[in-house]
Amino acid sequence: MTRRRIEVLDLLRGLAIAGTLGTNIWIFTDPGGPAEVLNALGSTGTAETLLRFLTNGKFLALLTLLFGVGLELQYRSAARRNAPWPGWYLWRAGLLFVEGLIHYLLIFEFDVLMGYALTSVIVAYLIGRSDRVITVWMVTVGSVFTVLTGLLTAGMLAAGTDTGTPSAPSTLFSDGSYPEQVAARLQSMGFYRMEIVVIVPLGIVLFLLGSRLMRAGVFEDSARGTALRRRLMVAGLAVGLPLNLLTSFAGPGWFLVDRYLLPPLVALGLLGLVVTVALRMTGAPGVLRRGLNNVGRTALSCYILQNLVASALCYGWGLGLAARFADLRPWWVPVAWLGICALFMTLSTLWLRRFERGPVEALWQWAYLAPQRRSKGSDGNERVPAGR
């Protein structure tokens, strides 16, 4: 892989991390916290609905596609070294699951890493199969997911939007202590982890699609890559984006379509657009692009940091800004997003001046390689993969 292509992947990862915060920031800044996220469906004003539309689901889908690209890179690395597959990659997936579980319990209810870990185990056994097998899996899982989403949406529309007398807003996140919030996550794990039921099947399709797009040359500065990116932009930005805008204003009955079905199509358009622009840029990158590149290189650290900082700013055990600025919604929310983005872009840039990896990435790499080194010590034939 060329250095230029790696930089494009870093840029996309950085953009995806910033974009996921653009969705999650609305949860952190709600005085009711994550517990009120479903109660707020369809009750926001026009301005807030439009602002939420800009990021909702799209950058989660982009991040999922990039996880598929990363899995493809891991598979290629194992193939070059003639190492067994999935082999130690399953240990990598286990570490990701544990990391997601800790992140869920201590920081954020809607963590996606646990779902990605489960998805990666399934896809690891598929990624080396023939194109025909991969196509069958993508079409089958994607069709079932689409049909079920359509049936659930039809049921939600038939039931209407009247949910009865709303319950009193929760004060756990505006007034509760940090230990109380951790205890609530533990007690409500079944509720908050329901999204994994959606993330895993959707992730299977997008992981495999990310792998196949890379093999098809989507990141290459070539005629083939240019044509592929052009098709992605047409499908995602000319078709998917207007439809997604309609579902954003169509009411809570369209929630599943609005967050999970159409955003992946938009994400493909974004991927095509960003790669096209990045490949055409010459000269040294500017401050914004350097910052996003550095966020992409420290993606796991920045993902955790952004949620931790948002919690400290918004929740009652921290500065409590969600309750203090409740009357200033939605306008203060984008300001908070910009401030946190600027913070983790700055910190990642400063960190990488001295270190090769982000702090979480370094710890994760050590945990990944340590048992392999011990295994090599007991069996001289075992090879230890070099991590990037």
Q: Is 50 exceeded by the pLDDT of residue 381?
A: no
Q: Is 90 exceeded by the pLDDT of residue 361?
A: yes
Report the range out of 153-167, 341-355, 366-380 with the highest average pLDDT. 341-355
- With the CA atoms of 267, 268, 274 and 279 taken in that order, what torsion angle do they form, in degrees rounded to the nearest 10? 160
Contact present, 14 and 308 (Cβ < 8 Å): no
pLDDT at 386: 36
Residues of the domain holding 313: 3-378
Contact present, 212 and 134 (Cβ < 8 Å): yes
pLDDT tier for residue 387 given thresholds of 50, 70 and 90 = very low
Residue 170 falls within a domain, yes or no? Answer: yes
* Higher-pLDDT residue of 47, 35: 47
Residue 306 falls within a domain, yes or no? Answer: yes
The one-letter amino acid code at 136 reads V
Lowest average pLDDT, out of 68-77, 221-230, 361-370, goes to 361-370
Q: Is 80 exceeded by the pLDDT of residue 167?
A: no
**What's this model's pTM, rounded to 2 decimal places?**
0.92
Contact present, 325 and 333 (Cβ < 8 Å): no
Q: Is 90 exceeded by the pLDDT of residue 383?
A: no
Kindly report whether the peptide bond that precedes residue 34 is cis, defined as omega within 30 degrees of 0: no
Residue 311 falls within a domain, yes or no? Answer: yes
pLDDT average, residue stretch 215-231: 95
Count of domains forming the chain: 1
Structure token pair of residue 286: 């500017």
Tens digits of residue pLDDT in 252-269? 899 999 999 999 999 999
Q: Where are the alpha helices (DSSP H) in the chain?
A: 3-28, 46-53, 58-80, 89-106, 113-124, 131-159, 172-175, 178-187, 189-192, 196-215, 223-233, 241-248, 255-256, 263-280, 287-297, 299-314, 321-324, 332-352, 359-378
Tens digits of residue pLDDT in 47-103? 999 999 999 999 999 999 999 999 999 999 999 999 999 999 999 999 999 999 999
pLDDT tier for residue 3 given thresholds of 50, 70 and 90 = low
Lowest average pLDDT, out of 18-27, 114-123, 165-174, goes to 165-174
pLDDT at 164: 44
pLDDT at 13: 97
pLDDT tier for residue 165 given thresholds of 50, 70 and 90 = very low
By CB atoms closer than 10 A (0-12, 13-18, 19+), residue 373 is: exposed
Residue 320 falls within a domain, yes or no? Answer: yes
Q: How far is residue 302's CA from residue 140's CA, in Å, rounded to a whole number?
A: 35
pLDDT tier for residue 380 given thresholds of 50, 70 and 90 = very low
Q: Is 90 exceeded by the pLDDT of residue 378?
A: no
Closest among 288, 291, 289, 275 to 236, alpha carbons compared: 275
pLDDT tier for residue 2 given thresholds of 50, 70 and 90 = low
Residue 387 falls within a domain, yes or no? Answer: no
Q: What percent of the chain has pLDDT over 70?
A: 91
pLDDT tier for residue 140 given thresholds of 50, 70 and 90 = very high
Structure token pair of residue 325: 């600025």
Average pLDDT of the chain, as a whole number: 90
Q: Is 50 exceeded by the pLDDT of residue 199?
A: yes
pLDDT tier for residue 159 given thresholds of 50, 70 and 90 = confident
Contact present, 266 and 242 (Cβ < 8 Å): no
Residue 192 falls within a domain, yes or no? Answer: yes
Residue 17 falls within a domain, yes or no? Answer: yes
pLDDT at 4: 56
